[in-house]
Amino acid sequence: MPTQARQRRSAPQAPPGQGAADGDKTADGRPAADKTASPKPARRPAGKGRAASRASSESDGQLRAFYRDMLLIRRFEERAARAYTEALVGGYCHLNLGEEAAVVGLMAALKPTDYLFTNYREHGYALMRGIGPNRVMAELYGRADGVSKGWGGSMHMFDVTHRLLGGYGIVGGQLPLATGAALAIDYRDGDEVVMCTMGDGTTAIGAFHESLNIAALWNLPIVYVIINNGLGMGTTVAKSSAEPDLYKRGAAYRMESARVDGFDPVAVRDATAKAVEAARHGRPYLLEVVTERLRGHSVVDPAKYRTAEEVERLKHEDPIQLFGAKLTADGVLDQESIAAIEQEVAEIVAAAADFAAKSPHPAVSTLFDYTYATPVANDSRRLPGQPLFDPEPLPETATAATQATATQPTATQTTAPGAHA
Amino acid sequence: MTIMTYRQALHDTLRAEMLRDDSVFLMGEEIGVFEGSYKITAGLLKEFGPKRVRDTPIAEEGFAGAAIGAAMLGLRPVVEMMTINFSMLALDQIINHAAKIYGMFGGQASVPLVIRTPGGGGQQLGATHSQNIELFYAFVPGMKVVAPSSPADAKALLLAAIRDNDPVLFLENLALYNTKGEVPDTDDPSTGTPAEIGKAAVTRPGHDLTLIGYSRMAHVAAEVAARLAESDGLDIEVVDLRSLRPLDRETIVESVKKTHAAVVLEDDWLTYGIGAEVAASISDGAFDYLDAPVRRVAMAEVPMPYAKPLETAALPSRDDVINAIRQTLAAVGHRATPLAQGVPHS
């Protein structure tokens, strides 16, 4: 049900099938995985370095900035993991390790006015949306200066100013919400776009299909992004998705889709820019970013389900090393500049941890401040153990009797609560 | 004042709020072209167009969640769930998201959302279409749950719900849509007076016993109280809860302190039901004032059968309520006699 306004802004709709066909190539033009192949993990073809592409128009400064941002996420996440093992961070803690190029590329294609909904693996996204590392780390520490004031923790970062409208801890929960945000933009005839990221495992959940269907029906300005790191906790894509080429799921909704190499920030940025542009014209888009999760599902997961070959392979699969090596070979970076970036990032992360440690814990007196946005009569503000009603004073005779014969009820005691008077 | 049905009151209020505020819009299955399964939204598509009266696919989780997301950006969606049974498909969005977003993000975004939905059995719709599961929502901090029993309250509480910045589950009832009552006029949208969410109402004052209900059962309570006044000269006080979260314990307890006896009516199942919370509240706040145990009249604990005699037996009837009242008053009399010898009643 497109609104008139959306139709006006929209480019002519692609005829049925064309959008899906668009997905048959990866964003950098390489053919996608063979359709008839048995379900194998979506891995980049051997020998084609994920950090290999370099857009000729890309300035050295931009490339260095990408590298710096990737390294910031890496060092931030490593520091978060350390803080977790030191019990400074509680709950669950899911890291973006291995996904740095994907995060940096995706966020580089959004305008500050665009919205992001993401899942519980979101520290890097928060940083790249422009939220200060201090506030992100303080949220992990559960402190009052945290981005969600200590109410959300690792999985639930939110910042209106930077239009990060939530990390969400329930798999798939963010998809209908993001779709609704896009609906609100459309309703107001706005020019913003919503990006909604998710893991590969999310494509099996009902909310994924309901959301994509609704977005396509109503021509909503939204880009759905699948971060395919090959594993939903310990379950492979092949074991959880009957169509392991996840981007192809867009075809069921006549939604344009594509797959991109998630180790290459430039390729991701370019593929995302194309997707965002389509969405801005009322054509929702599904983008699959193929990447790796270098560690366990969360900090505490040793990932023992991985085979020895997989573990060995991952030793050579580090987007930062690959991108750094490529930029070094291209003369964009050298040892000195890499060391300078390391130094800068280390200082930022150390300062963030320091800030978080010094930030105050939220006051217990604020416990009931965020149940309702509109104050309401009879809102319960009781701590555990407090009675619903202040007990009325017992008659003196009853009190005396209770004290005298605590274990042996007397006639006085049984009849004493005649508080009707 | 105009006499109108509960259905008409809902319809007129939705229309008035849409005229008043451009950010109010409707979403749901079959609310536009079909004009609503229960015709609450009849004519609104024609008047407001498909942008503001939005027919959705059969995807409760998807469109409930979309409404929540739209609300996060400041719109005021009013979602119709065709029946409360279907809302279970959207539980994740409503309970894990709508009810959490304000708190979980430290008060940075609110969710001004209304979900209108009818509960109720008695229409031979069988086990999956006759449930009263408002408790699921009333259990959850962050939600507000209102349950009007009269056309006037339907209007006043719907006004309040739409203008509230929190997610509100607005419970309707299939058996109430055709009931009539006096409603303040709605010609000028700005004249409607919203009710205060979180407040119960004493809809009939009395001294002999407190009868507590909500939604359809508040209606039943009023009828039974009137009947027993006529037939037995009983002076029964009726408390209409109106709001299930927050629950107005104060009004309940104050009433029981006056009457010394209570019967709680509910269309949901007894064990762990709304009535259990009401009874516990009475125990906490009026223990010393009770002359008889608090009785609850609730649905039989079975999946609702289709066959009419079985369905009728499973649902609380007026006779069930009258029996519970008589037994409770008998117990009061039984206790009052020996007590009266030692401890004077006020």
Cβ atoms of B159 and B193 within 8 Å: the answer is: yes
Provide the pLDDT confidence category of residue A46 given band limits of 50, 70 and 90.
very low
Nearest to A175 by CA among A222, A107, A128: A222
Residue A35 pLDDT grade (very low, low, confident, very high; cuts 50, 70, 90): very low
Q: Residue A279 has what pLDDT?
A: 98
Chain A to chain B Cβ contacts (< 8 Å):
205
Average pLDDT estimate for A310-327 = 94
Between CA A155 and CA B156 the distance in angstroms is 39
Residue A287 has pLDDT above 70, yes or no: yes
Instruction: Quote the mean pLDDT of chain B.
Output: 94
**3-class secondary structure, B244:** strand
What single string gives the DSSP state of each residue in B28-54?
ETTSSTT--TTSTTTTHHHHH-TTTEE
Look up the ipTM and state it.
Answer: 0.94
Domains of chain A: total = 1
Give me the residue from A1, A176, A374 closest to B54, CB to CB.
A1
Residue A239 within any structural domain of the chain = yes
**Does the pLDDT of residue A286 top 50, yes or no?**
yes
CATH number of B2-191: 3.40.50.970
Pairing mode of beta strands B2-5, B180-183: antiparallel
Q: Distance from A253 to chain B by nearest Cα, in Å?
A: 13
Please report which helix (H) or strand (E) contains residue A68, including its range.
Answer: helix A60-85
CB contact under 8 A, B66 and A211: yes
Once rounded to an integer, what is the mean pLDDT over residues A105-113? 98
Q: A334 is in which domain, residue-wise?
A: 57-365
What pTM was estimated for this model as a whole?
0.90
CB contact under 8 A, B102 and A178: no
For the segment A27-41, the average pLDDT, to the nearest whole number, is 45
Structure confidence at residue A391 (pLDDT): 84
* Residues of B labelled catalytic: 60, 129
Is A93 a member of any domain? yes
Q: Which residues of chain B make contact with A214, given a CB cutoff of 8 A? A: 56-57, 59, 62-63, 66
Which residues of chain A have a CB within 8 Å of the CB of B73? 180-181, 184-185
Q: Enumerate the H helices of chain B as residue ranges.
A: 6-20, 44-48, 60-72, 91, 101-104, 134-138, 151-163, 216-232, 249-259, 274-286, 308-314, 318-342
The DSSP letter of residue B207 is S
What are the boundaries of each domain within chain B? 2-191, 201-342
Per residue in A234-270, pLDDT (tens digit) is 999 999 999 999 999 999 999 999 999 999 999 999 9
Contact, B17 vs B161, CB < 8 A?
Answer: no
The per-residue pLDDT for range B49-87, each reduced to its tens digit, is 999 999 999 999 999 999 999 999 999 999 999 999 999
The amino acid occupying position B182 is E
Q: How far off is chain A from B282, nearest CA to CA, in Å?
A: 10
Could you read off the pLDDT of B156-205 as tens digits, one per residue?
999 999 999 999 999 999 999 999 999 987 656 566 789 999 999 999 99
β-strands B201-204, B236-240: how paired?
antiparallel
| CB contact B93 to A (< 8 Å) | yes
Give the one of B61, B166, B243 whose C-beta lies nearest to A372's C-beta: B166
Please indicate, yes or no, if residue A109 is contained in any of the structural domains.
yes
Closest CB to B59: pick one of A159, A184, A213: A213
A378 inside domain: no
The yes-or-no verdict on residue B301 having pLDDT over 50 is: yes
Mutation target among B26, B63, B72 for the A interface, most CBs of A within 10 A: B72
Q: Which residue of A has its CA nearest to B108?
A: A160
- Give the residue from B93, B110, B168 with the most A CB atoms within 10 Å of its CB, the best one to mutate: B93
List of chain B residues whose C-beta atoms are within 8 Å of the C-beta of residue A183: 66, 69-70
Could you write out the DSSP letters of every residue in A237-304?
A: HHHH-SS-SGGGGGGGGT-EEEEEETT-HHHHHHHHHHHHHHHHTT--EEEEEE----S-SSTT---T
**Structure tokens given for A403:** 């004290």
Q: Give residue-wise pLDDT tens across range A147-183.
A: 999 999 999 999 999 999 999 999 999 999 999 999 9
B194 in reach of chain A (CB within 8 A): no
Chain B residue closest in CA terms to A183 = B70
In this structure, is residue A372 part of a structural domain? no
Q: Which of A217, A380, A415 sits opposite B57 (nearest CB)?
A: A217
CATH code of the domain in which A192 resides:
3.40.50.970
| CB within 8 Å: A377 and B246 | yes
In this complex, is the C-beta atom of B271 within 8 Å of any C-beta atom belonging to chain A?
Answer: no
**Three-state SS at B185:** coil
Q: Which CATH class is domain B201-342?
A: alpha beta
Q: Do B196 and A377 touch (CB under 8 A)?
A: yes
Nearest one of A406, A25, A117, A321 to B101, comparing CA atoms? A117
Distance from CA of B302 to the nearest CA of A (A): 30
Q: Tell me the pLDDT of chain A averaged across its residues.
A: 86
Give contacts of A371 with chain B, Cβ < 8 Å. Answer: 102-103, 141-142
In order of A392, A395, A403, A419, the CA distances from A398 in angstroms are: 12, 5, 9, 11
- Which pLDDT tens digit goes with each residue over A3-30? 444 443 444 344 333 343 344 444 444 4
Burial class of residue A262 (count of CB atoms within 10 Å of its CB; 0-12, 13-18, 19+): buried
SS3 labels along A138-186: HHHCCCCCCCCCCCCCCCCCCECCCCEEEEECCCCCHHHHHHHHHHHHH
pLDDT, tens digit, 9 for 90 and up, residues B3-21: 999 999 999 999 999 999 9
Coil, strand, or helix at residue A360? coil
Q: How far is CA A398 from the centre of its chain?
A: 60
What's the pLDDT at A397? 67
CA–CA gap between residue A39 and residue A62 (Å, rounded): 37
Structural domain includes residue A12: no
The region that residue B120 occupies, defined by phi over 0 for left and psi between -120 and 50 for alpha, beta otherwise, is left
C-beta atoms of B199 and A377 within 8 A = yes
Positive or negative torsion for Cα B255, B256, B258, B263:
positive
Q: Which helix (H) or strand (E) holds A60?
A: helix A60-85
Supply the pLDDT for residue A399: 57
* C-beta atoms surrounding A58 within 10 Å: 16
pLDDT bin (cut points 50, 70, 90) of residue A36 is very low
pLDDT band at A396 (very low <50, low <70, confident <90, very high): confident
Answer whether B62 sits within 8 Å of A214, measured CB to CB.
yes
CA distance A14 to chain B (A): 22
Q: Please indicate if any CB of chain A lies within 8 Å of the CB of B321.
A: no
How close is the nearest chain A Cα to the Cα of B112, in Å?
9
Q: Looking at the predicted structure, is the pLDDT value of residue A233 above 60?
A: yes
Per-state percent for chain B, helix, strand, coil, to nearest 5? 40, 20, 40
